[in-house]
Amino acid sequence: MERISGVLIPGLLALLFIAIGLPLVFRKIKPNYFYGYRLSSFVIEDDDIWYRVNETGGKHLVIIGCFVALISILAIFYIGQTEIQSVFLAAGLSTSVIGIILSLARTLFIANKMAKDKGIK
């Protein structure tokens, strides 16, 4: 497992991010409490805010997924080299975490701005 951890784990993460992000990008997910960027109550209460925030967040997830997929693809060239696979694994995980944090910050900013513009917040 350690010989391909830099390929397998980032590759699965990339697929997960893309699979979760695409329905959000195409506005297929209605306001709910289980799936999507639910940053505060006013996001779920207002359809315009919900769809804008989740479309933006979905785009971020797809972009993060593409970057992590690239890391996974590059790791294919180093299969069997445990030390280098560890570097690719760390790069994939850190890209995922940093990407999610930046996405949450950006979508929270958008949600707050839209709520203020609508007089909700």
User: In the chain, pLDDT over 90 holds for what percent of residues?
Assistant: 86
Q: Report in angstroms the alpha-carbon separations of 16 from 24, 28, 81.
A: 13, 17, 25
What pLDDT band is residue 23 in, cutting at 50, 70 and 90?
very high
Cα–Cα distance measured from residue 57 to residue 19, given in angstroms and rounded to the nearest whole number? 13
Residue 42 has what pLDDT? Answer: 85
Residue 2 has what pLDDT? Answer: 65
Q: Tell me the pLDDT tens digit for each residue of 47-94.
A: 999 999 999 999 999 999 999 999 999 999 999 999 999 999 999 999
The domains of the chain are located at: 5-118
Task: Judge whether residue 33 has pLDDT over 70.
Answer: yes
Task: Judge whether residue 104 has pLDDT over 80.
Answer: yes
- The three-point CA angle 97-104-57 to 5° equals 100
Residue 60 has what pLDDT? Answer: 98
Q: 17: how many CB neighbours lie within 10 A of its CB?
A: 24
Give which of 61, 76, 75 is closest to 15, Cα–Cα. Answer: 61
This prediction has a pTM of 0.94
Q: Which residues contact 27 (CB under 8 A, 6 or more apart)?
A: 51, 54, 55
What pLDDT band is residue 1 in, cutting at 50, 70 and 90?
low
Residue 3 has what pLDDT? Answer: 82
Q: Summarize the confidence of residues 32-43 as an average pLDDT.
A: 90
